[in-house]
Amino acid sequence: MLLLQFSTSHYCRKARLALGYKGISYQTENLTPGMHILRVKPLTGLTTLPVLLPQIVGQPQAIGDSTEIFKFLETYQPEPSLFLPNSEQQTQAAMLEDWLDESIGTATRFVYYQFRAGEGKVIDPSLFSQMVIKVVRQQYGINDTTVELAKKRLANALLVLSMYWQKDDYLVGSRLSIADIAAAALLSPLALIPDYRQAYPQIFERIINIHQLCGEPLPPGLEDVGAQGLRPIRS
């Protein structure tokens, strides 16, 4: 299988976590933002990444959108399952995943690019990096006002997710689901922002655990913490 991705995208990380959890071997092709449309739109009709190309006879040529990739992977290789056996719990996990995709992943993007353009400029002050950040900010309408709204949305989400993850190791049910994977991927850009790291240590502990369960390298900002070893998820 081939995963078309932006190497730094948190939605592409989400797809990699699922592939890793299922132990499916795949290759990645990193696309250049802007130019990616030429490759992706004829395949899916969408402009977004990730896109999975199964490259297997009898399977679809291309699957766009991380949620659709989850569904495909679950049918293609049911075990280990990312869908919960209890249908009520699976519906709840799917609702959480959708909320994380549509609302929280976007809020993370706003807060992250605001940080990278300001306080976090030192991470990569190069002209190229700052130019990419500027284009992304324009593309998504990221400015002081929209960032403040995103921060409020995120604060609420982090409170709720901390509560869920503190009560149980998993957001829904008693094993890893699409909700945990979506949360781990879509909150991961916050690992580079000191305020979030200090305020929500247990969230980042969970993000590390989930990456380890999925065999996915840790996101920027967590590599060193991960090496020290954190409390494992209870079995």
Asked whether the beta carbons of 12 and 6 are under 8 A apart, the reply is yes
For ligand GSH, the binding residue among 18, 19, 49, 82 (CB under 6 A) is 49
**DSSP-assigned letter for residue 32:** P
Tell me: does residue 47 bind ligand GSH (CB under 6 A).
Answer: yes
**DSSP-assigned letter for residue 217:** P
In the β-sheet with 2-5, what is the strand arrangement from edge to edge?
27-30, 2-5, 51-53, 63-64
Find how far residue 72's CA is from the centre of its chain: 17
Binding string, 92-121, against ligand GSH, x = CB under 6 A?
A: ---------x--------------------
Tell me: does residue 180 bind ligand GSH (CB under 6 A).
Answer: no
Tell me: does residue 48 bind ligand GSH (CB under 6 A).
Answer: yes
Binding string, 54-93, against ligand GSH, x = CB under 6 A?
A: -----------xxx--------------------------
Q: What's the CA dihedral at 114, 120, 124, 126 to 10 degrees?
A: 60
- How many residues bind ligand GSH, per CB under 6 A? 11
| Binding site residues, ligand GSH, CB under 6 A | 6, 9, 11, 47-50, 65-67, 101
